[in-house]
Amino acid sequence: MNMMLMLAELPPQCMDVSCTKATPASICSGCKRVAYCDAQCQTRDWNGQLPHKKFCKTIRALADAAGFPAYTIPKYLPELDANARRRVEDAVSLAAVNSFNKKMMEDDRIRKVINDTRAGLSRMRLLQKQRQEVYLEKIVLE
């Protein structure tokens, strides 16, 4: 058997990365490229960090335009053990966090807010120190 499968021939896997259920997934009727094992997983993913709800129509349009087929009945059912799945999820999550942090620091607006906040804290500490000195002088003079 040829181990190289078209992506469309892979069995539908639940797209909610927090899902650990081994139940068969149903394909999204909108894009026909994403699947969920139940309504809870779909709701979590549709409202998650990258909400499928916002991208469903775009996924279908792009996939159709590129000739990427919708899911078909798989000829071979590869199994992914829980440890392998968790390692992939962890790597994807870490990569996403690192990418997000890098982009945040590259954004001039974010950098300006961080610098302004640091400057504001420095000014606040200086004012607090000056007020303490004035207060201590008043106590000494009395």
Mean pLDDT calculated for residue range 42-59: 82
Give percent above pLDDT 90 in the chain. 0
Q: Return the structure tokens found at 28.
A: 């999204």
Confidence of residue 91 (pLDDT cuts 50, 70, 90): low
Confidence of residue 76 (pLDDT cuts 50, 70, 90): very low
Angle, helices 82-106/108-141, rounded to nearest 10 degrees: 70
Mean pLDDT calculated for residue range 82-91: 66
Higher pLDDT, 2 or 81: 81
Instruction: Evaluate if residue 121 carries a pLDDT over 50.
Output: yes
Between CA 42 and CA 86 the distance in angstroms is 19
For 37-41, 75-79, 103-107, which range has the lowest pLDDT when averaged over its residues?
A: 75-79
Nearest to 43 by CA among 55, 58, 34, 53: 53
Between CA 16 and CA 37 the distance in angstroms is 9
Instruction: Evaluate if residue 63 carries a pLDDT over 50.
Output: yes
Q: What share of the chain is helix, strand, coil (3-state, %, to 5)?
A: 60, 5, 35
Question: Model pTM?
Answer: 0.40
- Degrees to nearest 5, angle at CA 70 with 68 and 75: 105
Q: Return the structure tokens found at 69.
A: 């087929």
Higher pLDDT, 73 or 94: 94
Q: Return the structure tokens found at 17.
A: 């990365």
Higher pLDDT, 35 or 99: 35
Confidence of residue 86 (pLDDT cuts 50, 70, 90): low
| Whole-number pLDDT of residue 77 | 45
